[in-house]
């Protein structure tokens, strides 16, 4: 029978690894990053976060290609409701469905690319740029 370990104690029966992120924190960071990717077209992140970001961005572009109300609501659950342009009141969701989705109508996947930048100075983490393919 396995011994019951105490929480956050690095001993024989304690935790082996404590994740720095909770699930809600990670999902919130991904929502912010994918919104920034839609607004700016590119974003620089660590390589671990880039894998999750590209899969989420690919899914959102697929939703935008379909373009119906159901898929707009699915994308609205992920993309942050901020205003890009003050005059027109345009949001990232509008940009996704009006500009980005129709531009990839003929393409069957592979909407994003990742380019390696090098390592970050503070903690030597590998940094990449994630951007939409033209």
CATH number at residue 100: 3.90.1030.10
When pLDDT is cut at 50, 70 and 90, the band that residue 77 belongs to is very high
Answer whether residue 59 is part of any domain.
yes
**Which of 4-8, 22-26, 50-54, 121-125 shows the lowest per-residue confidence on average (mean pLDDT)?**
4-8
When pLDDT is cut at 50, 70 and 90, the band that residue 6 belongs to is low
Answer whether residue 8 is part of any domain.
no
Answer whether residue 13 is part of any domain.
no
Residues spanned by the domain of 72? 23-132
The residue whose two tokens read 């572009």 is 61
Interval 12-69: pLDDT, tens: 555 555 667 788 999 999 999 999 999 999 999 999 899 999 999 999 999 999 999 9
- The closest alpha carbon to 112, from 40, 54, 32, belongs to 54
Answer whether residue 18 is part of any domain.
no
What is the pLDDT, as a whole number, of residue 13?
Answer: 59
Answer whether residue 2 is part of any domain.
no
Answer whether residue 85 is part of any domain.
yes
- Range 85-113 average pLDDT: 95
**Strands 112-119 vs 42-46: parallel, antiparallel or unpaired:** unpaired
What is the pLDDT, as a whole number, of residue 22?
Answer: 84
How many domains does the chain fold into? 1
Answer whether residue 5 is part of any domain.
no
What is the pLDDT, as a whole number, of residue 12?
Answer: 57
For residue 94, pLDDT over 80 is answered with yes
Answer whether residue 117 is part of any domain.
yes
């Amino acid at each position: 029978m396995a011994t019951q370990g105490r929480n956050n104690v690095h001993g024989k029966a304690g935790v082996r690894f404590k994740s720095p992120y909770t699930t809600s924190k990670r999902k919130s960071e991904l929502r912010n990053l994918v919104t920034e990717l839609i607004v700016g077209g590119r974003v620089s992140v660590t390589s671990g976060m880039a894998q999750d970001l590209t899969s989420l961005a690919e899914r959102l572009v697929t939703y935008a290609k379909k373009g119906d109300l159901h898929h707009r609501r699915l994308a609205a659950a992920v993309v942050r409701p901020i205003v890009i342009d003050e005059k027109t009141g345009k949001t990232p969701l509008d940009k996704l469905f009006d500009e980005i989705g129709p531009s990839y109508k003929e393409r069957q996947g592979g909407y994003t690319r990742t380019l390696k930048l090098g390592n970050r100075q503070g903690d030597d983490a590998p940094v990449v740029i994630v951007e939409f393919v033209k």
